[in-house]
Amino acid sequence: MFEVTNDVSRRTITARMSGFMRPNEMKEYVAVYKKATDSYGGGRHLVLADMRGLRPLEPESANLFSEVINHGRKNGCVMCAHVSDSTIARLQTARVASEASPNDDITVDCVSLEEAQNQLAKARVRLLNGEGMSAAR
């Protein structure tokens, strides 16, 4: 199961994933997520990746997920706040993200949705004020 919402006024994409993301569903997710990313035309934006309940990805789905992470990072994502309740899924996501961005300074692992929203709120102030993102962390 997945859901992608895009709050353009807050320059924030929210991606919710849970359960087993089989390759066909992951392909749908990739298309929807890329469309949201591309709506910024390469402009800076934030991502909330809510992966509570996500099960480990099979190899084909993991490759597709890596593709979409890479696309986001090449097209303006300046911070991605991750929330996960599975150690295995969190580790797999971290590995996939590090492949897309070897010196990953974009991902912020959060222990709760509330923490992720707080991290993004701080980053959003900096983003909307045109300031550097490193000071938001």
Instruction: Indicate the pLDDT class of residue 137, thresholds 50, 70 and 90.
Output: very low
Domains defined for the chain, CATH in brackets? 2-129 (3.30.750.24)
Nearest to 64 by CA among 104, 17, 4, 24: 24
Cα–Cα separations (whole angstroms), residue 9 to 47, 65, 66 = 13, 26, 27
Least trusted range by pLDDT, from 48-52, 58-62, 96-100, 112-116: 96-100
pLDDT computed for residue 133 by the predictor: 60
CA distances from 21 to 53, 115, 120 (A): 11, 25, 25
d(CA 94, CA 65): 11
pTM: 0.89
Residue 136 has pLDDT above 70, yes or no: no
In angstroms, the Cα distances linking 93 to 40, 62, 63, 89 are 24, 8, 11, 6
pLDDT tens for 38-52 read 999 999 999 999 999
